Chains A and B, each alone.
Chain A
């Protein structure tokens, strides 16, 4: 399966990733909690999770992502669900497989297993007190062991590849990527950027570390494909050429909608309107494909409505296939 996907990428095909998972579940009425965010929806709302995957497949995506961004042991233990760690992560994969079996009858759909730094208090950026109070403190060793455990469960459960999705500072990004790579399973390595006060690109949510330095530290660790994710549209457009300087292999982007106000709220805030319309998002995505980005999807706030137009609206291939499709950085 994965070889087939990378073969298509090698031929210059544009691949469509799903959109937001957590905020899309929130949009479907699943209450989001801070402690494990949307990570316990497998436990509380399994059919809604499967429905979300099916909806993305019907919208034409090539890749769906398991709802496991926030279901490592340290997210679940604070809710007394530590003993459900395997069950909840396994079910995350099973629901994606079931969605594929039910909906993708005549074309391949690949399953990406998400692993992130969510719920890791130590070694990252300073977090708002409102979040910190929901999490238990763990040692670095415990966090790493939990991430490794989760990555292994996802691989054993049958994901086609892993998505390392750390939004924090460089140490967290390293921990998550190390856990994914240690499984021996193919991994896409994710980066997040934001603009500083002077318009410079910094890494993570709040870090003052230059984005370039983060790339220098993490890109050499490995990964088949580098992604810029959970990054605003503007910062994504600026970050792509920086990444392309450091990495000659294929690139994916799946930005977020900059809805800081309600990502971790129980329900969506109807008064917050995305800055970008689906039409504007499609235009941006066309631009990124023109820059050679081969995989396009959405993160927080960019759900069904933003993904549906991509299949028909994006070109089938990047402009000069083969130019940016090597896999050795």
Chain B
């Protein structure tokens, strides 16, 4: 908690905090094959040193916060691979690798560790994931999924993360499960929202689920009262971040974080598509980030597809503080 209190103090002082970039796709970039079932979560088992190296690279790039590779390491991600029994082991290892990276690379400044929890692999109810993803997952009851998320959040808390980031990309029901699991640990939690713009209906929705669209506006209303220390828009393409920020600002007066994704199609493929280039360059990304900071966003990082090359310029390129601290 000392670590997080310090971080929170810096945020309250108006400081701009830099979060790491993509975790899963950065591991993919480093040659770790991503699987459908546990996505990058399996790298804790197969490529632990590469996971630590990825964290170290972000720390050397100047970030203040690194995120554990636990987005897809709840029990329901490992069980279909016959690895349910190493759920605790691999989540503990994820935190240990982040701590080792901090010890090795952050000699003279604080680096905080965020524990990631998501709805990945929660194959239940509506919006159960893409057809491809579903084929790699087992079916669980709502109770099992919730219990698995609580288990994972507790392991991460016990292992010593400074705070939790709730990163649900799915329906509001699942976002609530993830947030509740995080908050139940008593650790400070950042509440993540995904926003998806549907061109056909000109509407902002809470997930990719085009069949059962849930409006972003009411989705935020449903989740915010649960609690949380900071609100983020994450894994959302940059244009949609701009559309969604005013809605968050209207409903939430506390600090805001943004870590968008690069709009790639190869997130869940074993290897990145060498013929596909991000449409946003690192320079463009820095300009966008400056705009978000000018608008009062205090935490900037990257999600899928925005890796090390995009994060490196942030430390030097972003102002140290938001325009009107304390506002």
Chain B count of residues within 8 A CB distance of the other chain: 11
* Inter-chain contact A86/B33, CB cutoff 8 Å: no
- Residues of B within 8 Å of A91, CB to CB, are 49
- 0/1 per residue, A156-177, Cβ < 8 Å to B? 1100000000000000000000
Residues from chain B with a CB closer than 8 A to the CB of A85 are 31
Question: 13 pairs across A/B with beta carbons < 8 Å?
Answer: A83-B31, A83-B46, A84-B46, A86-B30, A86-B31, A86-B47, A86-B50, A86-B53, A87-B50, A90-B49, A90-B50, A90-B53, A91-B49
Mark B16-33 against chain A: 1 for CB-CB distance below 8 A, else 0.
000000000000001111
Structural contact, B53 and A157, CB atoms closer than 8 A: yes
Tell me, in angstroms, the Cα distance from A311 to B82 when the chains sit together.
52
The listed residue (A87, A90, A157) touching B46 by CB distance below 8 A is A87
Of B32, B48, B49, B52, the residue contacting A83 (CB under 8 A) is B32
A-B pairs, top 8 by smallest CB distance, nearest first, are A91-B49, A87-B47, A86-B31, A90-B49, A87-B50, A83-B33, A94-B49, A90-B53
Given the complex, which residues of B lie within 8 Å of A90, measured CB to CB?
A: 49-50, 53
Chain A residues near B49: list those with CB within 8 A: 87, 90-91, 94
How far, in angstroms, from A86 to B49 measured CA to CA in the complex? Answer: 9
With most chain B CB atoms within 10 A of its CB, the pick from A85, A94, A156 is A94
User: B33: shortest Cβ distance to chain A, in Å?
Assistant: 5
- Contacting residues of chain B (27-65) with chain A, CB-CB under 8 angstroms: 30-33, 46-50, 52-53
Chain A CB within 10 Å, residue with most, of B30, B32, B50 = B50
Chain A residues near B31: list those with CB within 8 A: 83, 85-86
Shortest beta-carbon distance, A210 to chain B, in Å? Answer: 41
A39 to chain B, nearest CB (A): 15
Q: Return the CB mask of A190-209 against B: 1 if under 8 Å, else 0.
A: 00000000000000000000
Give chain A nearest CB distance to B103 CB in angstroms: 10
Interface residues of A (CB under 8 A from B): 83-87, 90-91, 94, 156-157
Q: Which residues of A contact B52 (CB under 8 A)?
A: 94
Mask, B52-86, CB within 8 Å of A = 1, is 11000000000000000000000000000000000
Query: Which residues of B approach A to under 8 Å, CB–CB?
Result: 30-33, 46-50, 52-53
The smallest beta-carbon distance between B207 and chain A, in angstroms, is 31
**Nearest CB in chain B to that of A83: its residue:** B33
CB of A86 to closest CB in B, whole Å: 5
Report chain A residues within 8 Å CB of B50.
86-87, 90
Task: Give the complex CA separation of A310 and B142 in angstroms.
Answer: 67
Q: Nearest-CB distance from B25 to chain A (Å)?
A: 15
Q: Which of A83, A87, A90 has the most CB of B within 10 A?
A: A87
Contacts of A156 in B (CB 8 A): 53
Q: How far is the CB of B190 from chain A (nearest CB, A)?
A: 30
A84: shortest Cβ distance to chain B, in Å?
7
Q: How far is the CA of A85 from the CA of B52 in the complex (A)?
A: 15
For the complex, give the distance between the alpha carbons of A166 and B180 in Å: 58
Q: Which residues of A contact B33 (CB under 8 A)?
A: 83
Contacts of B48 in A (CB 8 A): 87
Q: How far is the CB of A159 from chain B (nearest CB, A)?
A: 13
User: For A83, what are the chain B residues with a Cβ–Cβ distance below 8 Å?
Assistant: 31-33, 46
B-chain residues with CB within 8 Å of residue A157 when the two chains form the complex: 53
Nearest CB in chain A: distance from B149 CB, A:
29
User: A35 to nearest B CB, angstroms?
Assistant: 20
- Apart from A86-B53, A87-B46, A94-B49: 14 A-B pairs, beta carbons within 8 A: A83-B31, A83-B32, A83-B33, A85-B31, A86-B30, A86-B31, A86-B32, A87-B47, A87-B49, A90-B49, A90-B53, A91-B49, A156-B53, A157-B53
The docked-state distance in angstroms from the alpha carbon of A94 to that of B103 is: 13
| Cβ contacts under 8 Å, B32 to chain A | 83, 86-87
Measured CB to CB, the closest approach of chain B to A17, in angstroms, equals 25
CB distance from B55 to the nearest CB of A (A): 13
With both chains docked as a complex, state the minimum distance between the C-beta of A42 and any C-beta of chain B, in angstroms.
9
CA distance A156 to B53 in the complex (A): 9
Q: Name the CB-closest residue of B to A93.
A: B49
In the complex, what distance in Å separates the CA atom of A85 from the CA atom of B50?
10
Across-interface contacts of A84 in B (CB, < 8 A): 46-47
A83 to B33, CA, bound (A): 7
CA distance A83 to B270 in the complex (A): 11
Residue on A with the closest CB to B48?
A87
Nearest-neighbor residue (CB-CB) of A157 within chain B: B53
Complex CA–CA separation, A157 to B101 (angstroms): 12
Closest to A85 in B: B31
Smallest beta-carbon distance A43→chain B, Å: 10
| List of A residues within 8 angstroms of B30 by Cβ | 86
Q: Which residue of B lies closest to A73 (CB)?
A: B31
A328: shortest Cβ distance to chain B, in Å?
33
- A157 to B31 Cα, complex, angstroms: 14
Complex: A90 Cα to B47 Cα, angstroms: 10
- Give the shortest distance, in Å, between B118 (CB) and chain A (any CB): 24
Inter-chain contacts of B46 with A (CB < 8 A): 83-84, 87
Distance in angstroms between the alpha carbons of A91 and B30 in the assembled complex: 14
A46 (CB) vs chain B CBs: closest residue: B49
Residues from chain B with a CB closer than 8 A to the CB of A86 are 30-32, 47, 50, 53
Q: How far is the CB of A21 from chain B (nearest CB, A)?
A: 18
In the complex, the chain B residue whose C-beta lies closest to that of A97 is B104
A90 to B52, CA, bound (A): 10
| A229 smallest CB distance to B (angstroms) | 27
A224 to B47, CA, bound (A): 34
